Structure formats: C-alpha cells, structure tokens
A and B are shown apart, each in its own frame.
Chain A
Amino acid sequence: MIAHAMAESDDTAGPERIGLRKEFDQVGIGDVLDQLDRELIGLKPVKTRIREIASLLLIERIRKRMNLTSDVPTLHMSFTGNPGTGKTTVALRIASILHRLGFVRRGQVVSVTRDELVGQYIGHTAPKTKEILKKAMGGVLFIDEAYYLHRPDNERDYGQEAIEILLQVMESQREDLVVILAGYGDRMDKFFGSNPGFRSRIAHHIDFPDYADDELLAIAELMLQDMAYKFSPDARDAFIRYITLRKTQPLFSNARSIRNALDRMRLRQASRLVADLDRELTADDVMCLEASDVLASRVFAEADGPKGSAVAS
C-alpha cells in the first residue's frame, strides 16, 4: 500500500477524483469501527471521537494522494478516565485503525509504565527509554499511568529525563511513532499542568466516562458470552442488584470489577456443581450461573439489606 502511494506521488498532477466509498472500503476501517461499536459497550464520546479521527485520517490520506501537501497530523493522544473504563482496549483498536490507514507502519502496541522507562541510577534512564522507543517505532507506545513519570516531590527524580527524551522523539519522529498517555483524570491534569510541553504536543485528549448500570450489565453478558457462560433469569436479576450495590462500595473499577466478579461466580458455580458428584451434567448445567452463585457474594453481605442476611443464613 505504501509503495502504491509513493508511485502515485511521483507524477506531479495526482489523480483528480477519488471515490470516497472505495477508499473507505479499501482500507477496511469500517470493520474496525464496527467491531469497536459491537465489542465496546457505552463510551459514546470516545467512539464519536475515534470516528472523527478516523475520518480526518481518511481525508488526509486522500489529500496526500492528490498531492495537497500537508504535514503529518499530530496523532499523540491522552486517555483519561477511571480504572476499568477500557483505555487499554481502545488503544489497541486505535493502533489497528492507524495501521490500516497507513499512519503507522507496523501497528504494534507497546504498553509500558514508569518502571520500563525510568532507570534506577544516573545514566540508566536514557538507554532504557530509548530501548522502549525503538521497540515502539512503527507502532503505538501506550504509557499507562503516565503521571508517575513526574515526581514533583523529588526534583532529582530520573522521570524528568525520560519525559525529555519522550518529548523530543514525539516532536521529531512524528511519522514513526504515536504516543498514547493514559491515566486517571485528576492526576493526569496535574501531570499536564507541570509538563506543559506534553499538553501542547498532544492533539487528542479523550475522556473515558464511567459506565452506567445497564452498560455494566451488557458488559457482563458480553464477557459471559465470550467465556461460553450465561445467567439464569434469576441470576441476571441478582446481578443487576449486585451492580448497584458494588458501585457504592470502595475500589470499584468498572469493567475490571465486573470481570473479577464473574470469575468469582464461576468459582462458586464450579464448587456448587462438584458438591454433588452423583449428578449427570448437561451442557446447560455447566454453562448456567444461578442466582445463588451471584447472591453468595460478599457485596450482598456487606450491604445492610435483608437479602444479604437471607443468603448468609
């Protein structure tokens, strides 16, 4: 595809008309966007933003073929949002969109945190950061919890060195690498506040909202479907109550909490089934999560509702 584009740019005139639909179908971002809609529940603002970016890039690609020169658009992004709102998942999708549109050459995602970028002694940070940057070139560098790079309480912290190298590469090698910073909203704001260079080099700030109750339920059902499990109708009702209760409790991390809850329910279902060894099991038995599997959760016991005590007894 790249060779094709280059051959086009050799003749100075360039093609006069380009069918938008043909171009759209050809790069196949439609599939990726549909998959995004299908597999990611909720996240309306995020999806709208990604569609916008994808459209921009599609037009940019066509402009390039028509020899309307323009710089490589800045594609660095920051994802802010609470834990478990799908930042990493979206980063993977973005990488594949960028790859299909030809804005990154390989489309791999290198996901790192502070540990992988910052060294432990003087002179250790630069090679370490460069090593990661080299691995990420041609793809996307995803820095999770990016605010840990900057430690305001310690001005001799090596994080600053990593930040400087990152900024330099983000600016000078825009066509080689897309950097995505991710983290919780308020702390990212503080991070950008103390590193204005980062803020201005990032074109797209995308905020990930928390999921609503019904979205969490839809996520749970999608996860179960992937694992070839399902809720019985009673279990489904119980799980709706579970979500409402769990959200009020501390350390709730959206989809991640849901995944963990489902894992514990599978555990309970398994021990319930194994308790009766003389039984003959059908496929339906091993697929179905019953209300008791849900209601045994600690979440119900901690809530002071009458349902919780009924299960405990």
Chain B
Amino acid sequence: MRVTQGCFSFLPDLTDEQISRQVQYCLEKGWAVSIEFTDDPHPRNSFWEMWGLPIFDLPDAAGVLMELNECRKVYGDCYVRLSAFDNSHGWESVRLSFIVNRPKDEPGYRLERHEGAGRNIRYTTKSYAVDRAEGKRYGGT
C-alpha cells in the first residue's frame, strides 16, 4: 500500500527536477530545508531522523539535491522526506513537507481491534513493516 502523507502524496512520485523546483521555491522564501528519513512510516510517527543539518542560505537547490542523493545512497530503502521550516514570527513551523524517496515494496497497515469492556472497541493501525527490527524493515540488511 502506497503511503500518502505530506504534500503531493497523491501525485506520482516527483522527479528530481520537480523536487529541485520545489526546493528552490522554499529557499527563495527563506525557509530552512531539512532532509529526514525513517523506516517507520506510521502517520503518527513524528520523529523522523535527520540527515545532516537543516539547509538554508543557499542560492540554488542543487546543494540540497546533492545531499538528498547522498541520503538516498545510504537509506535508499527508507522513506525520505524534505521539510521546509519557516522561522518567521507567527509561523515558526513546517510550511511544506513531502516524500522524496520510498521503499520499493510497501507492505501497508493492518487494523487491530481491541475489544474492551462491554461492546467498546478501540482501533489501532499497525504497519506490517515494523514487525521486523529497525533497519531490516524494507529489505535492508
């Protein structure tokens, strides 16, 4: 099941050129672009790991793409996303975030029903991938 989260996630995956156009837009707005990766794509997992430091003060997106390609080389079987953080007063939050790399095979989620007292049911979504240990979830070694 294809994971959809962040911007553009219902579009086909962005090409590198489309990514660099988006990054260029962010840089021109003065946002700090950071590269993050994870192998636990649960929508509530807000703790993605950072690849290097946030990147800002660049005139051109090529520098970000260079870092992104390095990250893909190492974590090609993880989800990688770019987030653009706007530090201006009143915003101080992520303005744009989109997935730029995903594992070849995405097993998807299952729904768990937890039967409580009476007829009460609690639902949990669980990724099939996280059944395996960290680092081995998407065919990694």
* Chain A residues packing against B (C-beta within 8 Å): 105-106, 108, 130, 133-135, 137-139, 169, 173, 176-177
Contacts and interface: CB of A to CB of B under 8 A. Distances in A.
Contact of A135 (B58, B61, B67): B58
Contacts of A105: 60, 62
A286 B63 CA distance: 50
Contacts, number: 37
Nearest to A176: B62
Interface string B36-74: 000000000000000000010111111110110000000
A133 B60 contact: no
Nearest to A110: B59
Contacts of B55: 134
B57 A137 contact: no
A177 B61 CA distance: 12
Contacts of A139: 59-60
Contacts of A176: 60, 62
Interface in B11-56: 55
Contact of B62 (A108, A130, A137): A137
Contacts of B66: 130, 133-134, 137, 169, 173
A132 to B, nearest CB: 10
B57 A138 contact: no
28 contacts: A105-B60, A106-B59, A106-B60, A108-B59, A130-B66, A133-B66, A134-B55, A134-B58, A134-B64, A134-B66, A135-B57, A135-B58, A135-B59, A135-B63, A137-B58, A137-B59, A137-B60, A137-B62, A137-B63, A137-B66, A138-B59, A138-B60, A138-B61, A139-B60, A169-B66, A176-B60, A176-B62, A177-B62
Contacts of A177: 62
B57 to A, nearest CB: 7
Nearest 6 A/B pairs, CB to CB: A138-B60, A134-B63, A137-B62, A176-B62, A106-B59, A137-B63
Interface residues of B, number: 11
A82 to B, nearest CB: 32
A139 B67 CA distance: 18
A102 to B, nearest CB: 14
A133 B60 CA distance: 11
Contacts of B64: 134
Interface string B61-97: 1111011000000000000000000000000000000
A173 B57 contact: no
Contact of A173 (B58, B61, B62, B67): B62
A108 B58 CA distance: 10
A138 B55 CA distance: 15
A142 to B, nearest CB: 15
B63 A133 contact: yes
B74 to A, nearest CB: 15
Nearest to B66: A134
Given A106-B59, A135-B58, A176-B60, 20 more contacts: A105-B62, A133-B66, A134-B58, A134-B63, A134-B64, A134-B66, A134-B67, A135-B59, A137-B58, A137-B62, A137-B63, A137-B66, A138-B59, A138-B61, A138-B62, A169-B66, A173-B62, A173-B66, A176-B62, A177-B62
